[in-house]
């Protein structure tokens, strides 16, 4: 059973949106991107948006917009998709790592201050698996040390932290619209949100060869989003709440069944948080055996992420900090397993996955 992870429909509305763009004949820098920027910023509760061609570009341009200089340090976590750290390096920065909370899998804010040096420019908390990082202390520490906060919200469309969505606490928030994300444009895409008009204006110029009002004012890139993708994204955005609620229902079914199993730690949703379950990730000591068992039963699972990024050679070269401080990251990587989830999977499919996991555990620990 190959489990579809995308939630995009090939419906009448989507096809008409594509037709509308073709008929207009404007495939970049047009009204669909502008509308998506306004609609998604409003949805997330921020003032401004700049649509770009991927979540990676959203992070990269955010770092360029804050004026990162060669050798500036950016603090983040090692258990994230490589894009978070690649964006830092490609912008000329040096990654510094802090450990995570072993139960929420997001940045441990209590470690943050000890990682700050005179070279620190910004903090990138990652809202992992659909759960936001603990933003209040992160913001407070950033303010105390005069640092920027760029939220990596690529997995957190619609997630909430004490009633506020990503983009509220950060100076900038970067989202991905990749096909497997909670919201997609049916291709590569992304957006940066902010309440800071100046930063968003700069990002809009950076994504378009450094052009402002038709004039080239600084060096930039071509990181623009296609109008076709933006048109599809606008439709997918209308379905986002429904898809997130569906993900939460699936998560409830998993949690109800799997909490009975001693060797499994289910994901938590701390009080005040609204988890959107981009991934439903469990921790279990027999991870590899369970994964093989599920694969043999045609159930695909994922490991996000089996590498702590500080261990990769090209990153190690830039960061020689004491790695013992990253113990929680190291300890979880052999235990985490992401089970099938999407905005569309049906209840019987999930019940079947739970049944198989129970069978596995009866077998290994009768």
Ligand X SMILES: Cc1ncc(COP(=O)(O)O)c(C=O)c1O
Binding site for ligand X (CB under 6 A): 54-56, 80-81, 83-84, 126, 152, 154-155, 176, 178, 188, 190
Residue 25 Cβ, how far from ligand X at the closest point, in Å?
27
- Closest to ligand X by CB, 68 or 225: 225
- Closest to ligand X by CB, 178 or 229: 178
Residue 206 Cβ, how far from ligand X at the closest point, in Å?
16
Residue 53 Cβ, how far from ligand X at the closest point, in Å?
8
The closest residue (CB) to ligand X is 55
Structural contact between residues 230 and 33, judged by C-beta atoms closer than 8 angstroms? yes
d(CA 357, CA 293): 9
- Closest to ligand X by CB, 225 or 354: 225
- Closest to ligand X by CB, 301 or 354: 301
Asked whether the bond before 266 is cis by omega within 30 degrees of 0, the reply is: no
The shares of helix, strand and coil residues in the chain, as percent rounded to the nearest 5, are 40, 15, 40
- Closest to ligand X by CB, 68 or 309: 309
d(CA 262, CA 256): 13
Residue 183 Cβ, how far from ligand X at the closest point, in Å?
11
Residue 103 Cβ, how far from ligand X at the closest point, in Å?
19
Helix pair 55-65, 197-206: axis angle to 10 deg? 120
- Closest to ligand X by CB, 111 or 155: 155
Residue 106 Cβ, how far from ligand X at the closest point, in Å?
11
Backbone φ and ψ for 72, nearest 5 degrees, come out as -60, 145
Residue 17 Cβ, how far from ligand X at the closest point, in Å?
20
Give burial (CB, 10 Å; 0-12/13-18/19+) of 152. buried
Assigned token pair, 113: 């201050």
Structural contact between residues 166 and 159, judged by C-beta atoms closer than 8 angstroms? yes
Nearest C-alpha neighbor of 358 from the set 247, 249, 263, 251:
263
DSSP code, position 325: G
- Closest to ligand X by CB, 175 or 293: 175
């Amino acid at each position: 059973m190959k489990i579809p992870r995308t939630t995009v429909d090939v419906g009448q509305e989507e096809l008409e949106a594509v037709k509308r763009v073709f008929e207009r004949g404007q495939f970049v820098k047009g009204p669909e991107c502008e509308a998506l920027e306004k609609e998604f910023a409003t949805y997330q509760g921020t003032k401004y948006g700049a649509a770009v061609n991927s979540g990676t570009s959203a992070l990269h341009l955010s770092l360029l917009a804050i004026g990162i200089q060669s050798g500036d340090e950016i603090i983040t976590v090692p258990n994230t998709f490589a894009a978070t750290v690649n964006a830092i390096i490609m912008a000329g920065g040096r990654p510094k790592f802090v450990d995570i909370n072993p139960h929420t899998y997001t940045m441990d804010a209590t470690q943050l201050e000890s990682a700050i040096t005179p070279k620190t420019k910004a903090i990138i908390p990652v809202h992992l698996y659909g759960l936001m990082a603990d933003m209040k202390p992160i913001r407070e520490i950033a303010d105390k040390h005069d640092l920027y906060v760029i939220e990596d919200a690529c997995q957190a469309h619609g997630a909430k932290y004490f009633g506020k969505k990503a983009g509220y606490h950060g100076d900038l928030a970067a989202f991905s619209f990749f096909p497997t994300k909670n919201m997609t444009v049916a291709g590569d895409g992304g957006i940066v949100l902010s309440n800071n008009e100046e930063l968003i204006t700069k990002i809009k110029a950076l994504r378009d060869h450094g052009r402002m009002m038709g004039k080239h004012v600084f060096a930039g890139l071509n990181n623009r989003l296609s109008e076709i993708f933006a048109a599809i994204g606008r439709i997918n955005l209308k379905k986002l709440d429904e898809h997130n609620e569906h993900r939460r229902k699936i998560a409830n079914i998993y949690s109800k069944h799997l909490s009975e199993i001693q060797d499994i730690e289910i994901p938590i949703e701390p009080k005040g948080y609204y988890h959107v379950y981009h991934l439903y990730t469990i921790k279990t000591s027999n991870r590899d055996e369970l994964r093989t068992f599920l694969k043999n039963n045609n159930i695909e699972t994922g490991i996000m992420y089996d590498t702590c990024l500080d261990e990769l050679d090209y990153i190690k070269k830039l960061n020689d900090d004491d790695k013992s401080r990253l113990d929680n990251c190291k300890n979880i990587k052999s235990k985490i397993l992401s089970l099938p989830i999407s905005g569309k999977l049906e209840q019987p499919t999930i019940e079947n996955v739970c049944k198989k996991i129970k069978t596995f555990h009866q077998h290994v620990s009768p």
